[in-house]
Amino acid sequence: MKSVQKQELKNRTFLSILAGIIISYHSRIVRNACLYAFTRSIKKEMEIKEIKANELDPETFIKEKITEISEIIGEGTAISALSGGVDSATVTMLGHKALGDRLKTYFIDNGIMRQNEPEQVVSIFKELGVNIELIKAREEFFNALGGVTDPEEKREAITQTFYKDVFAKLLKKSDAKFLLHGTILTDVEETVAGIKRQHNIFEQIGIDPEDVFGYKIIEPLVQLRKDGVRKVAKSLGLPDTIYNRPPFPGPALAARVIGEASPERIEIVRKATIIVEEELKNIDAFQCMAILHNDKLTGIRNGKRDFGLQIEIRCWDSVDARIAKPTRLSYEVLDNLSERITNEVPNVVSVTYNIAKKPPSTMEAV
């Protein structure tokens, strides 16, 4: 009997050691699998009552959210992280109407935005009577992104730098205890489903921002999708350039660089983005973008071999970003895009156009 018990003990010890080795060896895979299982298990507990765009009364919604923000913050202060996208712009205006000067709004120049974007956005909101402080943080973000190639690790590097480093300091400086967030329902769904971690999702996956970062997050738009947010933005008096602005990802151009998002590679996709947005500005599409691939391809320039870069163009037709189809661009438009990108963006020898729907594709590449 004792020998049997000893053998069982040995077996259990062996299995424990084996399990430890497997977990150690496959730590990232196990972590991701556990996160996925965990987020799936809490999904029902975190259900959010959707307000569909066709059922939305924007004026009533605005009044309710202004009251809600005022009651939560009381006589305190809050900060807003403005990126220029319709979500962050809308939540900033809601906060401004609720709190006035007690809302401190910052635009973080992280080095991964589009050309001249920080200055343009600050100028637009200045005309609306909202003062924005521009924070230079390029060095912090590029240091965090250095050598990182995995898509989820890139998003995590940006998230940690944004919330734990840059914004934690701003909150401490301002004595604010609340951060206004432009989280929308699609962000929550994609993160909870394990499709991709959106940088602005915390409580929905079991992370307490107050415990981790030292402040609470308020999400006035979390019941809406993109089409609903646009209606609210228009009712708030935001200009057409904001409320009809194509979606832009939280990780900015880092989401459009496959592989390491170095300053040099960000600059390449930034130049390609200028061309794509100029050439497609009159196309009635939900979103368009340029993506820099990691692999190099053989090309020919000036009669010589040129081992160069590949840019992928994506242009989407969609209503709320849950499903999407590639926009049917004419060959003339595609030809113009190809000619300009290969001639104006250094080292690019190949331009492709994505024709896969969402799903199985996603709108952004990373």
Q: Which residue has the tokens 């910052």?
A: 106
Bridge partners of 49, per DSSP, are none
What confidence score (pLDDT) does residue 248 get? 86
Span 39-66, mean pLDDT? 80
Is residue 214 over pLDDT 80?
A: no
Is residue 22 over pLDDT 50?
A: no
Distance, in Å, from the CA atom of 34 to the CA atom of 347, rounded to the nearest integer, reads 41
Mean pLDDT of the chain: 84
Q: Could you read off the pLDDT of 144-172 as tens digits, one per residue?
A: 999 999 998 998 999 889 888 887 788 77
The distance in angstroms from the start CA to the end CA of the chain is: 58
Under a CB-based contact definition with an 8 Å cutoff, are residues 241 and 86 in contact? no
Q: Could you read off the pLDDT of 25-44 as tens digits, one per residue?
A: 333 433 443 444 444 434 43
Torsion region of 293: left, alpha or beta (phi above 0 gives left; psi -120 to 50 gives alpha) = beta
Helices (H) and strands (E) in the chain, counts: 14, 10
What confidence score (pLDDT) does residue 15 get? 37
What confidence score (pLDDT) does residue 227 get? 92
Q: Which residue has the tokens 């240091």?
A: 143
Under a CB-based contact definition with an 8 Å cutoff, are residues 317 and 327 in contact? yes
Q: What is the DSSP string of 229-266?
A: HHHHHHHTT--HHHHTPPP--TTGGGGGBSS---HHHH
Q: Could you read off the pLDDT of 222-259 as tens digits, one per residue?
A: 999 999 999 999 999 999 989 888 888 888 999 999 99
What confidence score (pLDDT) does residue 213 get? 58
Distance of CA 332 to the CA centre of its chain: 32
Band (pLDDT 50/70/90 cuts) for residue 321 is confident
Of 248, 269, 267, whose CA–CA distance to 258 is shortest? 269
Torsion region of 278: left, alpha or beta (phi above 0 gives left; psi -120 to 50 gives alpha) = alpha
Instruction: Report residue 365 as tokens.
Output: 């590449």
User: What are the start-end ranges of the E strands in the chain?
Assistant: 78-81, 103-109, 132-136, 178-180, 216-218, 287-292, 297-301, 304-317, 325-326, 348-353
What confidence score (pLDDT) does residue 193 get? 61
Is residue 292 over pLDDT 70?
A: yes
Distance, in Å, from the CA atom of 250 to the CA atom of 6, rounded to the nearest integer, reads 56
Q: Could you read off the pLDDT of 68-120 as tens digits, one per residue?
A: 999 999 999 999 989 888 999 999 999 999 999 999 999 999 999 999 999 99
Is residue 19 over pLDDT 80?
A: no
Helix or strand or coil: residue 292? Answer: strand
- What whole-number percentage of the chain has pLDDT above 90? 64
Helix or strand or coil: residue 301? Answer: strand
Neighbouring C-alpha atoms within 13 Å toward the C-beta of 170: 25
Is residue 198 over pLDDT 90?
A: no
